[in-house]
Amino acid sequence: MQLTFQTPIEYLKGVGPKKAVLLQEELQIYNLADLIQHYPFRYEDRTCFHNIADVREDLPYVQLKGVIQSPKIITTGKKRLVATLKDETGVISLVWFQKINGILKQLRPGILYQLFGKPTVYNSCYTIVHPEMEIFTAQTTQEKTLIPVYHTTEKLKASYIDSKYIRRVQANLIEQFPIHLPETLPEDLCAQYKIIDKKTALANIHFPATPEILQKARFRLKFEELFYVQLRLLQARQLRLEKQIGAAYKDTKLLQDFYQNVIPFELTGAQKRVVKEIYADLKSGKQMNRLLQGDVGSGKTMVAFLSMLIVLGSGAQVAMMAPTEILVEQHYKKLQEFAAPLSLQIGILTGSTKTSERRKILDELAQGTLQIIVGTHSLINENVVFKNLGLAVIDEQHRFGVMQRAKFWQRDDVQPVPHVLIMSATPIPRTLAMTLYGDLDVSVVDEMPAGRKPIKTVHYYDAQRLRVFRFVKDQISLGRQVYVVYPLIEESEKMDYKNLIDGYESICRAFPEVPLSIVHGRMKASDKDYEMQRFVKGETKIMVATTVIEVGVNVPNASVMVIENADRFGLSQLHQLRGRVGRGQDQAYCILMTDYKLNKKSRERIKALVHTNNGFEIADMDLRLRGPGDLMGVQQSGLLELKIADVARDGHILQIAREAAKEIIKKDPMLIQPSHYTIKNQLATSNDNSWGNIG
């Protein structure tokens, strides 16, 4: 039978129908393409031998060479076979609990063995339990080099589908490769980036002949994966730019008016640059799709408002969408403040807008009398019709999916499509932005408004709480306000609410004369708003809250943030929270409270926050510590379908792949040149089909 990559695995030598079902169920391996892409997650180095004297418990595995001595079966305690292995440097124990008699029969004392296993301590001796072993010959070492280790599951292991089994079927598959496997990257690209051919790469990712060729195989396969992701994104961007007409907004009178007469502060250099970038898009006649990145507090809202003014100045409408009601209200108030002196009409639309009010707003939007609308995703509802929507600003917080975003401009009744500006709440690591938002243009506000003092971040243990309370008291007597934040994780919601309420009560006791607010997700929206307002007005001095305050809240007089159980928050989330203070003139403080016991990763996170205020650095570290799977927005992006590349670790390959893709799309956006035939073919077929025929 001729195998192709689409052949179901049951037809591969060594698999069969029963094992095929298990491999499908447990590892989603259906066909040979799935199998060959079930790459090893590590390799065992069988190229060298350890000295027995160097064996330590923390070594993941060791390979030893020595003679077996005095094997015997022990019946006291758990029945077992024991022996020792001796080389020139020392001895180590060996133990077997299963198939004892058979193994004893085969063991040949005094003969040189080659042996492999994980060292542990058993009966206070270094021991290898159930070692893999064979009689040493010069030939066996020559064959064995880097041995691939594959992920399996407990269920698979119970059916003898372990790493060794997968190794065997991979070997069967690779043996049946034809001499020429179809190449899936163009020749000149392979030459330019010194990329090895596909067949060599696949054979060596599973069975590396040398560590050097393994490196090359990895590079090739990661590059290919990232290259096609980038090529798709960049081609989509290019085609959109070519096709998508946008209204051209050139009039800057309104912007100038605001800039010269109203704006309450001097723009930072970065804000000016980014507004220029956006203006260039808005007047170009092509639809803008731009991501606005910047650290917490860098002034993205002002940039968004100035962009709005360009569009409003030409008589079109603008919309701003945010993920939560609190954030929508915050934006609404801020924009209202900016817009009032210019007599612009501004409205708000959320899930809790009353029916009569909603009707009025929808009416005014359709008439065009309402110029600015701020809202939750209610805004992308079918019955919201604009007279002339020119710009949609989306404050994303990673929470809107790509599809939701597109709804603003993929409606048939909206032509030309509005320009789109997406604001990200926290900085996104470069590598991730390139992939999550790779089809967009990116502007970065990489400068903080002048006069901001960096926030002082410190770490205290729960046992030092009295000291923290004294500090809080001093700050309040200086006229400042304070946030105390508690984690709220869905899985442990009940406990978390209890902690919040307990914490609130202990703060009440510690500060009997200080007016407090409490805000959490179980309160009615109107109560939440009332408490927020009291804090904003300075009527209350301490705000005890769950992470509902995480996004956007702006109280310049609040200069201290105490974060309880700080180890339970993610790094970027902590940075985002911390950004709620340090918005005024006063020195701001962020106090991270934890238990004395902390695991290594939590300790690293806390240390990182104490060490830096730079959101981009923190985002990079977050990506490295957690991996992309845990970052918001990644789930629906398809990033996790990558088989071998890892955006957290392979940033440099991603960079090269993106550059390569860019160069090709620039020269040949439709990929019609003959030398791009391979690429075009690859893009046209789905991922699975792209693997072509084996024979």
- Residue ranges binding Mg ion (CB under 5 A): 552
CB of 535 vs ligand ADP, minimal distance in Å? 16
Dig out the tokens for 660 from the structure: 């390569």
Q: Which does 651 bind (CB under 5 to 8 A by kind): ligand ADP, Mg ion, none?
A: none
Which of 632, 592, 596, 627 shows the shortest CA–CA distance to 609?
592
Dist CA 50 CA 532 (whole Å): 65
Crossing angle of the two packed helices 211-243 and 198-206, in degrees rounded to 10:
130
Q: Which does 90 bind (CB under 5 to 8 A by kind): Mg ion, ligand ADP, none?
A: none
CB of 670 vs Mg ion, minimal distance in Å? 39
Is-contact 354 377, C-beta < 8 A? no
Dist CA 539 CA 533 (whole Å): 9
Dist CA 432 CA 428 (whole Å): 7
Q: What is the largest distance, in Å, between two alpha-carbon atoms of the chain?
A: 97
Dist CA 424 CA 447 (whole Å): 16
Crossing angle of the two packed helices 300-312 and 253-261, in degrees rounded to 10:
140
Nearer to ligand ADP, 301 or 353 (CB): 301
Q: Which of 148, 294, 347, 582 binds ligand ADP (CB under 6 A)?
A: 294
Dig out the tokens for 179 from the structure: 């001499």
Stretch that binds ligand ADP, among 89-97, 168-176, 299-307, 365-373 (CB under 6 A): 299-307
Nearer to ligand ADP, 268 or 431 (CB): 268
The reply to whether 575 sits near ligand ADP by the rule CB under 6 A is no
Q: Which of 198, 331, 575, 583 binds ligand ADP (CB under 6 A)?
A: 583
Q: Which of 84, 293, 301, 457 binds ligand ADP (CB under 6 A)?
A: 301
Dist CA 372 CA 109 (whole Å): 87
The reply to whether 300 sits near ligand ADP by the rule CB under 6 A is yes
Nearer to ligand ADP, 416 or 556 (CB): 556
Binding marks (x or -) toward ligand ADP, 441..460, rule CB under 6 A? Answer: --------x-----------
Nearer to ligand ADP, 152 or 547 (CB): 547
CB of 297 vs Mg ion, minimal distance in Å? 8
The reply to whether 551 sits near ligand ADP by the rule CB under 6 A is no
DSSP of 530-557: HHHHHHHTTS-SEEEE-GGGSSS---TT
Token look-up 């892409």 returns: 37
The reply to whether 268 sits near ligand ADP by the rule CB under 6 A is yes
CB of 34 vs ligand ADP, minimal distance in Å? 44
The reply to whether 634 sits near ligand ADP by the rule CB under 6 A is no
Dist CA 197 CA 183 (whole Å): 7
Dig out the tokens for 590 from the structure: 């962020």
CB of 554 vs ligand ADP, minimal distance in Å? 5
The reply to whether 397 sits near ligand ADP by the rule CB under 6 A is no
CB of 384 vs ligand ADP, minimal distance in Å? 25
What DSSP character marks residue 448? Answer: P
Nearer to ligand ADP, 281 or 446 (CB): 446
Q: Which of 156, 189, 234, 302 binds ligand ADP (CB under 6 A)?
A: 302
Contacts of 579 (CB under 8 A, 6+ apart): 295, 296, 297, 615
Token look-up 């710009």 returns: 391
Q: Which of 163, 298, 371, 457 binds ligand ADP (CB under 6 A)?
A: 298
CB of 42 vs ligand ADP, minimal distance in Å? 41
The reply to whether 682 sits near ligand ADP by the rule CB under 6 A is no
Q: Which does 37 bind (CB under 5 to 8 A by kind): Mg ion, ligand ADP, none?
A: none
The reply to whether 577 sits near ligand ADP by the rule CB under 6 A is no
DSSP 3-state percent helix, strand, coil across the chain (nearest 5): 45, 20, 35
Contacts of 362 (CB under 8 A, 6+ apart): 383, 384, 385
CB of 300 vs Mg ion, minimal distance in Å? 5
Is-contact 132 115, C-beta < 8 A? yes
Residue 66, judged by CB atoms within 10 A of its CB (0-12, 13-18, 19+), counts as buried
Nearer to ligand ADP, 541 or 583 (CB): 583
Q: Which does 265 bind (CB under 5 to 8 A by kind): Mg ion, ligand ADP, none?
A: ligand ADP
Q: Which of 40, 131, 297, 633 binds ligand ADP (CB under 6 A)?
A: 297
What DSSP character marks residue 371? Answer: -
Q: Which does 663 bind (CB under 5 to 8 A by kind): Mg ion, ligand ADP, none?
A: none
Residues lying near ligand ADP in the complex (CB under 6 A): 265-268, 271, 294, 296-302, 449, 554, 583
